[in-house]
Amino acid sequence: MAVMKTLRVFPVIVLLCGLCGCGSTRSSDAKTFLDEAEKKLFDLVLDASQAAWVQSTYITDDSEAVAARANERSIAESVRLAKAAVQFDKAELPADQRRKMNLLKVGLVLAAPSNPAESAEVTRLAASLEGRYGKGKYCPDTKGGAEKPCMDIAAVTRVLATSNNPAEILDAWRGWHTISPPMRKDYQRFVELANKGARELGFKDSGAMWRSKYDLTPDEFAKEVDRLWEQVRPLYVSLHSYVRWKLREKYGASVVPEKGPIPAHLLGNIWAQDWSNTYKLVAPAAADKGYDLTDILKKRNTKPLDMVHYGESFFKSLGFAPLPRTFWDRSMFIKPRDRDVVCHASAWDVDNVEDLRLKMCIDISEEDFTTVHHELGHSFYQRAYNKQSFLLRDSANDGFHEAIGDTIALSVTPEYLVKIGLLNRAPDSSKDIGLLLSRALEKIAFLPFGLMIDQWRWRVFSGEIPPDQYNQAWWDLRLKYQGVAPPVARSEADFDPGAKYHVAANVPYTRYFLSFIMQFQFHKALAKAAGCPAQGADTPLHRCSIYDNKEAGARLNQMLEMGLSRPWQDAMSELTGQRQIDATAILDYFAPLQKWLDEQNKGKPAGW
């Protein structure tokens, strides 16, 4: 998918002030503290969520200021609450109270400093950076020629997705990266203030604070991420090698090197995070996946609202209740013509009870068809855990939320499309390489990008990457993990990280890397629960869909309802029987493709 999907995560997720005295060791005091905290937390999150919704769907200086003030109040209270929770560190508490105390300290995305002026400054910077991204446009320099319209992110995305003209692609890629240099100074200051707030809570820096929320120490979590990358790296290298020589055939030796990194602009996506749009260039004729869902949807005159109804129907087929009426009344499904908005697809739980919303500028395409299914995965997860106490109304870890959305999307198979009437019949097994290659260009191509975003930020937060090396380090890491390089010279006058939404909006990113591995674990377990593949049958995992299977739906819901009430290892075990994130399922899923890629790559260079 060309547009990265995200659950909307506010920097106010854990809020409030200390409500008890200092130094208490009594469980009764802890319960009073937590009960009062959760009660007021509900109100503060609602205020901040509503302000943030307006900020994202009606970008103005005023909406940014209102959202920044709401965040400032919330973050200041949450930092005070996190500090107040320390008084119970030595208390003998029931397991649920101890978990909530820990969550208060590790649940922040942004910890503002206690100094009021600095707290106001960092929250203003956070709102401003996201707003600049949302308003970002590339306005071509006509130099006396015919005037060309400015291009927003949707227009730039279309060029990179559809054009085969290297010059046009390069112009669009370079143009989008002009939106971020003005962010650089503010981002540097933002890092300074965010780190100061994190250190006041006892963390080394903001990156360490982010890594502390996975029921592991920060160092243990970093090692787990490295272990998972080593599991999947050989499959990525095979895909990279294949795509490189196919693009070399298309664009020529002067554009694509035989051995080195692939120029980032040629991979069909602004950030080279998803290579799906190169499928038409790299797929062999015999590997056509057998259908074009975008063409099918357009010929049926599918509307944006129809796309959402398809997604909701999937969940209803599993036994989930329909979405509330307010979802349809309050969501944003198309880009308004009269104002700037953040089009980045996201699922919102505004009141943490039933006010679920989708924010998305829906295009009638296969990509957005899958994205809708993904985003509604967030929505049904959000509603499933709304019976938990307030601090526990979240996914088992942030990777789970993304993984659940994509687990549902993995069931968007040809067989599913037949069942809902979009295909007359599923292509036969001779088309499976095409299906797997298409999916690998989305899923496998993403893995190193999903890893390197926070590898960069963790190093920025820790000071290992100083401000005068922001851009060089960005491209060094992209080379190391992705094997891609900028198509034109870059310098420290640029700020290419800011051209990615999640950097500008301060949204942690390792969750996506984890989710792209966990979703295959989840899919394999749910497919088995649904009886696919059946004992002795030859249906491969990539053809299994859990659509219309109530047993799989019930098993999924059992895990979703747990929310954040127990360590993620317990939730993982509930669904899969495993207590560790493991890439075996994703390797099994793509095993036929791995064999095929290795055959195609014989005699070709591997690596970069």
The catalytic residue positions are 344-345, 374-375, 378, 402, 502, 512
Virtual torsion, Cα 464, 470, 475, 478, nearest 10 deg: 60
Name residues whose C-beta falls within 8 Å of residue 119's C-beta, 6 or more positions apart in sequence.
72, 75, 76, 112, 113, 197
DSSP state of 20: S
Helices within 345-431 (DSSP H only):
366-384, 398-410, 414-419
Distance CA 4, CA 520 (A): 18
Q: How many whole angstroms separate alpha carbon 16 and alpha carbon 35? A: 12
C-alpha torsion angle, residues 280, 286, 290, 293 (rounded to 10): -10
**Distance linking the first and last C-alpha atoms of the chain:** 24
Give the C-alpha separation, 71 to 108, whole Å. 12
**Structure token digits, residue 553:** 């739906």
| 328-331 contacts at long range (C-beta below 8 A, 24 or more positions apart) | 330/355, 330/357, 331/357, 331/358, 331/359, 331/360
DSSP designation for 371: H
> Which SS3 state, helix, strand or coil, does residue 139 take?
coil
**Sole residue written with tokens 């890397």:** 513
Distances (CA, A) of 315 to 38, 354, 374, 408, 563: 30, 16, 11, 9, 18
Neighbours of 417 (CB within 10 A): 21
Three-state SS string across 241-281, please? HHHHHHHHHHHCCCCCCCCCCEEHHHHCCCCCCCCHHHHHH
Looking at the chain, the number of H-run helices and the number of E-run strands are 24, 5
Are 208 and 199 in contact by the 8 Å Cβ rule? The answer is no
Q: Say which residue the tokens 């970002």 belong to.
A: 136
156: amino acid identity, one letter: V
295 Cβ contact list (under 8 Å, min separation 6) = none
Q: How many CB atoms lie within 10 A of CB 32?
A: 14
Helices (H), 136-255: 153-162, 166-176, 184-200, 206-211, 218-251
* Nearest-angstrom CA–CA distance, 105 and 197: 12
